[in-house]
Structure 1
Amino acid sequence: MPNNHQLFESLHADYYPMVYQMCKGFVKGDEDQASDLTQKALINTWRSLSKFKGASSYKTWIYRITVNTCLKYLRDNKSRNQTTIDEDIQIPDTETSQNETHQELYQAIGKLGEVDRLIIMMVLDELEYEEIASVIGISESNLRVKIHRIKKKLKTILSNE
């Protein structure tokens, strides 16, 4: 059985990209903020490692820690984030490169509510609906309804920009 340090190194290697992608979605594509937030989520994972009971997979557990870290970050920085959203709306899109298309998507996701943002980021990360429902704490059928509504909201946001 690996010690906590070895286990954390393995988890870090396996799940860093997933955590980073989730954090990036929460901060509307800002790579510097996503990097900082990823580091906080992984520090929280390290601190909680001894509390892992095995009731879920490491992936689901790390997702939950990442979600909680992101939600805390959003609550702590709410007024600053609202200024950022206003600034983002004023930026004209002149090119249609893939990177800018991703940026538009992250900005649109950033306009969703916190839970909707979390759900769509997990969908984009191709998690199974069963796993997403477990992380969120709702039934799979309720999750499917929420995903349908979130996709409609995103289409509306993207078509109005």
Structure 2
Amino acid sequence: MTKELQFKDLYTAHYSKVIRLCLGYTNGREEKAKDLTQEVFIKIWQNLDKFRSEANISTWIYRITVNTCLQELRKKKVVPLEIDLASHEIISSNNDEIRYKKMYECINKLSADNKTIIFLELEEVPQAEIAEITGYSHQAIRTRIHRIKEQLSKCVTDGGI
């Protein structure tokens, strides 16, 4: 398979996951998320020949995405990550909307590492793959996810992490 065809297949298979992850890091700002997504795929194109298949290709793509987004946050010194839920159609009632907004406000209070972990968990990335992406052990990820969920639950009900 040529590099062009391989890239096209990767782009088609992973674009929606990459843009959703970028939206989480850009306060839901679609234009900024699109810019970061484009940057991610440029990096994928530039480094596709260097991919050694030691990890799953999706793990490699998530790692590039997370690093690109975190690099942008450091460059802009943007600390809070807020998510605009107005564009999500999963909200069925006003009460649900308030709960979702509160949950994402609580996610915004997490450390950068924990935000990455929970965003990947929300994307239903397998925990073993999250471990590869973040560099933590699988057991550490399992523990962190459990603790993050407890923190978020407490935050949503009590108002603080």
Query: Structure 2 length normalisation: TM-score?
Result: 0.81
Does 2:47 match 1:48?
yes
What is the aligned length? 150
CA distance in structure 2 between the partners assigned to 1:61 and 1:143 by the alignment: 18
Residue 14 of structure 1 and its aligned partner are, at CA, apart by: 0.1
CA distance in structure 2 between the partners assigned to 1:147 and 1:38 by the alignment: 26
Map 1:4-15 → 2, pairs under 5 A: 4-15=3-14
CA distance in structure 1 between the partners assigned to 2:97 and 2:7 by the alignment: 32
Structure 2: stretches of 5+ with no match in the other structure: 85-92
Task: Report Cα offsets for 1:122-149 as digits up to 9, x if no partner.
Answer: 1111111111111111111111111112
Q: Percent identity?
A: 36
Map 1:8-47 → 2, pairs under 5 A: 8-47=7-46
1:60 match = 59
CA RMSD, Structure 1 to Structure 2 (Å): 2.4
Instruction: Classify 1:51/1:75 alpha carbon distance in 2 versus 1 (closer, same or farther; 3 Å).
Output: same
1:74 match = 73
Query: Structure 1 length normalisation: TM-score?
Result: 0.81
Contact 1:29 1:106 in 2 (8 A): no
2:120 match = 122
Instruction: Name the structure, 1 or 2, with higher relative contact order (CA <8 Å, separation 6+).
Output: 1
Instruction: Classify 1:57/1:37 alpha carbon distance in 2 versus 1 (closer, same or farther; 3 Å).
Output: same
Instruction: Classify 1:124/1:76 alpha carbon distance in 2 versus 1 (closer, same or farther; 3 Å).
Output: same
**Further displaced range: 138-147 or 96-105:** 96-105
Instruction: Classify 1:100/1:22 alpha carbon distance in 2 versus 1 (closer, same or farther; 3 Å).
Output: farther
CA distance in structure 2 between the partners assigned to 1:104 and 1:43 by the alignment: 35
Contact 2:99 2:156 in 1 (8 A): no
Residue 105 of structure 1 and its aligned partner are, at CA, apart by: 3.9
